[in-house]
Amino acid sequence: MSRTPKALMILRVAQVPWMTIFFLGLLGGVIPGFGVLFLVVGVVAAMMILFSLILRFIGWLCYSGDEGYQQFRKSGGDPYFDLTLPEGINNDSWAVRCGGKPEPRTSFVPPRDWLTQCNGCGARNQVPHGNCWHCGNNLANT
pLDDT, position 68: 83
Look up the pTM and report it. 0.64
- Are the C-beta atoms of residues 120 and 109 closer than 8 Å to each other? no
Per the structure, the complete domain to which residue 112 belongs is given by: 103-142
pLDDT, position 57: 92
Please tell me whether residues 19 and 88 are part of one structural domain.
yes
The yes-or-no verdict on residue 142 having pLDDT over 60 is: no
Per-residue pLDDT band at 121 (split at 50, 70, 90): confident
The yes-or-no verdict on residue 2 having pLDDT over 90 is: no
Domain membership flag for residue 97? no
pLDDT, position 1: 52
Domain membership flag for residue 98? no
Enumerate residues 6+ apart whose C-beta is below 8 A from 2: 102
Please tell me whether residues 86 and 128 are part of one structural domain.
no
Type of residue at 127: V
pLDDT, position 26: 76
Please tell me whether residues 1 and 70 are part of one structural domain.
yes
Please tell me whether residues 86 and 134 are part of one structural domain.
no
The alpha carbon of residue 126 and the mean position of all alpha carbons in its chain are separated, in whole angstroms, by: 22
Enumerate residues 6+ apart whose C-beta is below 8 A from 16: none
pLDDT, position 119: 83
Please tell me whether residues 77 and 118 are part of one structural domain.
no
The yes-or-no verdict on residue 48 having pLDDT over 80 is: yes
- Are the C-beta atoms of residues 90 and 9 closer than 8 Å to each other? yes
Q: What is d(CA 114, CA 126) in angstroms, rounded to the nearest whole number?
A: 4
User: How confident is the model over 99-108, as a mean pLDDT?
Assistant: 79
pLDDT, position 50: 92
Please state the domain count of the chain.
2
Tell me whether residue 94 is exposed, middle or buried, using C-beta atoms within 10 angstroms of its C-beta: 0 to 12, 13 to 18, 19 or more. Answer: middle
User: How confident is the model over 67-84, as a mean pLDDT?
Assistant: 84
Q: What is the tens place of the pLDDT at every residue in 24-43?
A: 777 777 776 777 777 888 88
